[in-house]
Chain A
Amino acid sequence: MTDKLKQANQFIRALPHARALGMELQSLEMGTAIISMPYAERLIGDPKTGVVHGGAVSALMDTACGAAVMSHPSNPAGTATIDLRIEYLRAATPGQTITTEATCYHVTRSVAFVRATAHDEDRATPVAMATGTFTVEGRK
């Protein structure tokens, strides 16, 4: 792991809710963040199937989108979610890690636009897709 990634991972671990859900930062650069969330019993939303709750996927998406904004070359000092829409394409396979890749594809003086995709170990069809807008809290 590079020093930069190590540093970024410390940032994710400093977010109590991200840590509580077991999120791990895989990559963070130039407005793109990849964060994974290993399967755990506490994340189960449907006790009959063992499928992870949509809320946990939402939290992963939100974290990845926020991290993508923070890593954008325009260097925002902070960010908060304005709006986030998530589409659940299919149930995540129980037992598998869910990985989200979020890209901040445009930043204005006050708004950052982000898209994200979540996969489990089957890369063919995403588990969920997200579109969000985030605030831009001044520049460093």
Chain B
Amino acid sequence: MTRRPAPEPVQIVKQRRDAVLRALVEGVPYVQFMGITFERRGDELTGIMPYKDDLIGNPILPALHGGATAAFLEVTAIITLSWAFIWEDMESGALDVSDLSHVHLPRLPKTIDFTVDYLRSGLPRDAYARARINRSGRRYASVHVEGWQDNRERMFAQATGHFVMPQRKG
């Protein structure tokens, strides 16, 4: 009778996942410039764009710049898609995470097109976004993103984008 190996201690698993996510997000200068961060629950990610004056497009209202909203949703789509791509390899051990300070990540997906639907003006508050991967094939992926602020039920913007996936080696 063979005994099943003991499961990995939960803190080791969390440490590995969080370090890979950090490497993914903190490696992108534009994401840092926008101040966008990600919260993780298992494999689910929520993008957070904390309010700062630099994000304003209409100083009279005031309202978030439509471009800042578009960028936030696109960043959330790309990070979520990349994270899903990495997840499998990270969990199976195919991704070398022996040195968590130097994780060698695959290339990022490339945006083909991105369409933003502005539902109401962005308030000078923190914004949140979650992406749903509607299809992810070997070459292309289709992703939908929802952005909200104070109320989860009242989206201020949503977007759909298509992406070219990085190619796995071999």
Q: Which residues of A contact B (CB under 8 A)?
A: 14-18, 20-21, 41-48, 52-56, 58-63, 66, 78, 80-88, 91
B55 touches A88 (CB 8 A): no
CB B51 to nearest CB in A, in angstroms, measures 12
CB A138 to nearest CB in B, in angstroms, measures 14
Contact A88 B54, CB 8 Å, known A45-B30, A55-B34, A80-B121: no
Contact A59 B65, CB 8 Å, known A16-B59, A42-B33: yes
CB B95 to nearest CB in A, in angstroms, measures 16
B88-131 contacts to A, CB under 8 A, are 107-108, 110-118, 121
CB A90 to nearest CB in B, in angstroms, measures 10
B59 touches A84 (CB 8 A): no
Contacts of A85 in B (CB 8 A): 113-116
Q: Is B15 an interface residue (CB 8 A)?
A: no
A47 touches B110 (CB 8 A): no
Contacts of A21 in B (CB 8 A): 67
26 A-B residue pairs with Cβ-Cβ distance under 8 Å, sorted by A, are: A14-B59, A15-B65, A16-B65, A17-B57, A17-B67, A42-B29, A43-B33, A44-B30, A45-B28, A46-B107, A47-B29, A53-B28, A55-B75, A56-B71, A58-B70, A59-B65, A62-B70, A78-B58, A80-B58, A80-B118, A81-B116, A81-B118, A83-B115, A85-B114, A85-B115, A88-B111
A62 touches B114 (CB 8 A): no
Complex Cα spacing A20 to B33, Å: 9
A58 touches B58 (CB 8 A): no
Q: Which residues of B contact A (CB under 8 A)?
A: 27-34, 53-59, 63-68, 70-72, 74-75, 78, 107-108, 110-118, 121
Contacts of B111 in A (CB 8 A): 54, 88
Complex Cα spacing A66 to B70, Å: 14
Contact A62 B117, CB 8 Å, known A48-B107, A88-B111: no
A58 touches B67 (CB 8 A): yes
Complex Cα spacing A58 to B73, Å: 11
> Quick one: which of B58, B70, B114, B115 contacts A59, CB cutoff 8 A?
B70
Contacts of A87 in B (CB 8 A): 112-113
CB A69 to nearest CB in B, in angstroms, measures 12
